[in-house]
Amino acid sequence: MKHKIVIIAASCLGLFINTQAQTKGLKDYFKNDFTIGVAVSPRALKTDEAQLILKEFNSMTPENAMKMGPIHPFENQYNWAGGDSIAAFAKRNNMKLRGHCLCWHNQTPRWLFFDSSTNQQVTKEVLLKRLKDHITAVVTRYKDIIYAWDVVNEVISDKEDEYFRPSLWYQICGEEFVAKAFQYAHEADPKALLFYNDYNEINAVKRQKIIKMVKDLQAKGVPINGIGLQGHWAVNEPSKDQLEQTLKDFSALGLPLQVTELDISVYPKEHTARERKASDSDTIFTAEKELKQIEVYKYCFELFKKYKKSITSVTFWNISDRGSWLDSFPVRGRKDYPLLFDAQLKPKKAYWEITKSESNK
Ligand code: GLA
């Protein structure tokens, strides 16, 4: 009799754990730590990926829809359709929404920097006025749903002996556009959390430059509320120590940190685009690649939890291995598998590894 009860209890427990595994998502496993986000396109929200998003995530970032080029293609024309549909999905489903991004050197329309009649570069005054108009319109439109903005993206140089990236923004305005962008965003929505976002923050030299810029902005009273670490990483970097040092250095600033664009490529990291080589045709997701990726995902999440006082959100860049920007960078057409869900939208082993210790919470 006793034996029978034990068996019944054990199978009930098994059933319970199973159902839990089926109903719980990343957002539930990490609910006491940080929000879990995902970069989306308006199209994805109309496919089977929408169900996965609802189950697993409690925050979204528009992958492209709110970038300057797509949303503001001409001076007097905004293209709100994509941004609006993502905002509506977030509202309908009670999800958080991060805005991305208000000022960047890429995916930026040409009209911003050039005079339409003379074709000459505009002056600093004109460019700052255009930046202000852009930021005011976009931030105001999504004020009711976007709680945090990547205001300025990637202005620090990757070159050791160069501070700012010599973009057209910098060439025309000097450093000042950074402070101005934060000021305009704050004026448009005083409640929004305003982030500086960058990549390769694990590089000690670049990191110190980012920290210096943030401290200088703070000293000038610029309304900056947090730092976004993109987190485009790979099986060979960052090392655990490198990531720990990165999180330690940034958290010492006392500002909230968000991991804004996490993915872990199964290929060794290359920072610049290049032509295809014969060896690039080997794109099978082997057990070896999988194991290496699991290891990196595991220590990333261990460290994110260790620094959870500072880290308020972790967002993945793309939904599943069905499609990632890494399929065309650094090598066009080389399939990558950087996310936690496979092309059939099933959780990969890395998913179970990072959620294992969270299961009974
Ligand atoms: C940067 C940008 C993102 C995205 C990725 C690559 O990290 O911030 O918006 O374009 O590059 O897809």
| CA–CA separation, 308 and 191 (whole Å) | 23
Q: How far is the CA of 235 from the centre of ligand 1 (A)?
A: 19
Q: What angle do helix axes 124-141 and 176-188 make, rounded to 10 degrees?
A: 30
Residue 258 has phi, psi (to 5 degrees) of -130, 135
Residue 261 in contact with ligand 1 by CB distance below 6 A: yes
pLDDT tens digits along 131-165: 999 999 999 999 999 999 999 999 999 999 999 99
Q: What is the pTM of this model?
A: 0.94
Which position has the token pair 């923050």? 201
With the most atoms of ligand 1 within 8 angstroms of its CB, the residue from 66, 103, 200, 325 to mutate is 325
Strand 311-316 with 193-198, pairing? unpaired
Q: What CA–CA distance (Å, rounded) separates 164 from 176?
A: 11
Question: What's the full length of the chain, in residues?
Answer: 361
Residue 258's H or E segment, with its range, is strand 257-265
pLDDT of 4 reads 58
The angle, 0 to 180 degrees and rounded to 10, between the axes of the packed helices 240-251 and 287-306 is: 30
Q: Are 73 and 138 spatial neighbours (Cβ–Cβ below 8 Å)?
A: no
Cα-based angle 151, 155, 160 (whole degrees, multiple of 5)? 150
- The Cα 106–Cα 273 span in angstroms is 15
Distances (CA, A) of 255 to 78, 117, 175: 33, 44, 22
Give CA–CA dist 270/242, Å, rounded. 17
Residue 300's nearest CA partner among 227, 234, 206, 210 is 234
Specify the pLDDT at position 12: 54
Q: What is the pLDDT of residue 359?
A: 67
Task: Express each pLDDT in 89-118 by its tens digit.
Answer: 999 999 999 999 999 999 999 999 999 999
What are 177-202's pLDDT values in tens digits?
999 999 999 999 999 999 999 999 99
Q: Of 49, 154, 270, 288, which one is the catalytic site residue? A: 154
321-338 pLDDT, tens digit per residue, is: 999 999 999 999 999 999
**Percent share of the chain, pLDDT over 70:** 93
Tell me the C-alpha distance between 327 and 334, whole Å. 5
Q: What is the pLDDT of residue 307?
A: 98
Q: How far is CA 325 from CA 48, 97, 102, 156, 186, in A?
A: 20, 21, 20, 22, 31
pLDDT of res. 23: 83
pLDDT tens per residue, range 333-358: 999 999 999 999 999 999 999 999 87
64 close to ligand 1 (CB < 6 Angstrom): no
Whether 154 is a known active-site residue: answer: yes
DSSP codes, 129-194: HHHHHHHHHHHHHTTTTEEEEEEEE--B-SSTT-SB---HHHHHHTTHHHHHHHHHHHHH-TTSEE
Instruction: For a ligand 1 pocket test, name from 68, 153, 315, 317 the mutation site with the most ligand atoms within 8 angstroms of its C-beta.
Output: 317
Encode pLDDT of 250-259 as tens digits: 999 999 999 9
Phi, psi dihedrals of residue 233, rounded to the nearest 5°: -115, -175
Q: Which of 21-25, 151-155, 241-245, 295-299 has the lowest mean pLDDT?
A: 21-25
Q: Is the pLDDT of residue 51 over 60?
A: yes
Distance CA 90, CA 290 (A): 32
Higher pLDDT residue, 15 or 36? 36
CA–CA separation, 311 vs 102, rounded Å? 22
Mean pLDDT, residues 50-61 taken together: 98
In tens, the pLDDT along 304-321 reads: 999 999 999 999 999 999
Number of the ligand 1 atom closest to the C-alpha atom of 64: 9
Distance 228 CA to ligand 1 centre (A): 12
At residue 260, the pLDDT reads: 99
Atom of ligand 1 nearest to the CA of 232: 7
- Number of other residues whose CB lies within 10 A of the CB of residue 357: 13
Helix (DSSP H) and strand (DSSP E) numbers for the chain: 12, 9
* Residue showing tokens 């450093």: 175
Calpha distance 226→194 (Å, rounded): 6
Is 261 a known active-site residue? Answer: yes
> 24-269+276-358: which CATH topology?
TIM Barrel (3.20.20)
**Is a pLDDT exceeding 80 seen at residue 360?**
no
- Tell whether ligand 1 has an atom less than 6 A from the beta carbon of residue 199: yes
- Confidence check: pLDDT of 18 > 60: no
**What mean pLDDT value characterizes the chain?**
95
Cα of 182 to ligand 1 centre, how many Å?
20
What Rg value do the Cα atoms of the chain yield, rounded?
22
- The two three-digit tokens of residue 24, written as one number: 């719980």
Quickly state the pLDDT bin for 205 (edges 50, 70, 90): very high
Range of weakest confidence among 15-29, 36-50, 150-164, 244-258: 15-29
Query: Tokens for 141?
Result: 């439109």
